[in-house]
Structures are given as structure tokens and as C-alpha cells.
Chains A and B, each alone.
Chain A
Amino acid sequence: DAGVIQSPRHEVTEMGQEVTLRCKPISGHDYLFWYRQTMMRGLELLIYFNNNVPIDDSGMPEDRFSAKMPNASFSTLKIQPSEPRDSAVYFCASNTRWAASGGVGNEQFFGPGTRLTVL
């Protein structure tokens, strides 16, 4: 397995544009997490899904942010409209409670991240 896959790896856009970040979790994992990493705030959980259903979106900063998981192998994080303060690295992570599917308790497996720059 290639691990968690994220695209694009880098995104540069202008303020006001729509940005869509994509994530493919590890096959068999039923939990998916979106994080934002900044120098000032470290790693913040934005939202997470279980079996494609959003469980906790309390970390989503505002209505400009939305996330979907239409199926077990794909999720998107959308920012519309984007602002310069959204510039950060966005990580996706996945895991499962089922050891038969490769789960190791609460260990989360992270993607390489998408570095977003909003000018």
C-alpha cells in the first residue's frame, strides 16, 4: 500500500479563489482525519469521518471550509473563498480500530500533506 495519498502536494492560489484538497486513505481504514499545520498553532484537527460520515467538525474554522467523503477511498477539503490566513500545510490521516485491517489502536497514518499558499 502506498499509504495515505494527498493531492496536490503544493497549491498556490490568489485570495478569493476556490481551493480543493484531496485525500485517499489507506485501503481498509474507516477513519479519516483532516489537520492543518501552522507555525503558530501547530497541528489542529479540522474534521474527522468514520465510515464516510462526519463525526466531529468542531475544528473547522468557518463556513468557508467544507469537507466531504463521498466514498471509503476519497475525501475532499474545500476552501471557498480562500484567504491569505488559510496558508498552511494540510494533512490527511487515516486509521482503523480493526487489527485485521492493519489497525494499531489509535495510531494514525499521515499523508505527505498539501502546502497551500494563498496570495
Chain B
Amino acid sequence: QLQLQESGPGLVKPSETLSLTCTVSGGSISSSSYYWGWIRQPPGKGLEWIGSIYYSGSTYYNPSLKSRVTISVDTSKNQFSLKLSSVTAADTAVYYCARLDPPPNLRFDYWGQGTLVTVSS
């Protein structure tokens, strides 16, 4: 059974860089059949797609976040990571990692449990 687990600091200061890692177990991140993505959900609000990556390193980013987002993959550790720079309070959210079908399907079929990241001084 595929499992995804987010990890990283739960508190980040304004203007700093948020860094999260998603560890995949029960399957290979190098599968040619899937992309891997990050989605966030501010408290009490809806879901927002952040971006996605293929094991080869090919990426797609939400245009509204593109200037601040970097997603990378480490196939040797079966992990992929998110970096979001220059954070503000508006970036406070539960961050989820997920597996998805390659575009254009965008079927998010496995999700991590999510991790709350608070931006505060």
C-alpha cells in the first residue's frame, strides 16, 4: 500500500523559506506512470494546487506561486521536496503531498496526512 508522509518545520518566520519533504513508501517515486505534487489548505479554506514534479525533474507550478516555489526530487531517497520563499502569514496552511496521474488527467489518488505550517515571528 502506497504511503506518503510530509515532514518539516511547523513554524517559519515571515520572509524566510518554508521547506517540506514528502517521503514515499510502498512504491517507487521513479515510476514512469505518475507525477508527485504539493497542495495546500489555509485554515478553514479550500485546496490550492502548488505544483507537481516527475521523477525526471520535469515540473509544473501554479502560476500565482511560481516565482517563489521550487519542487525537487531525490529518487535515491524516494522523496520529493517543496521550498516556498519569502513567506508571509498568508502562506499559513496545511500542506499535503500527493501522487497524481500525468497531465492532463490530474487524478490525485494517494495523499499524505498533511502537515500544518504556521508563518509567524
The yes or no verdict on A and B being binding partners is no
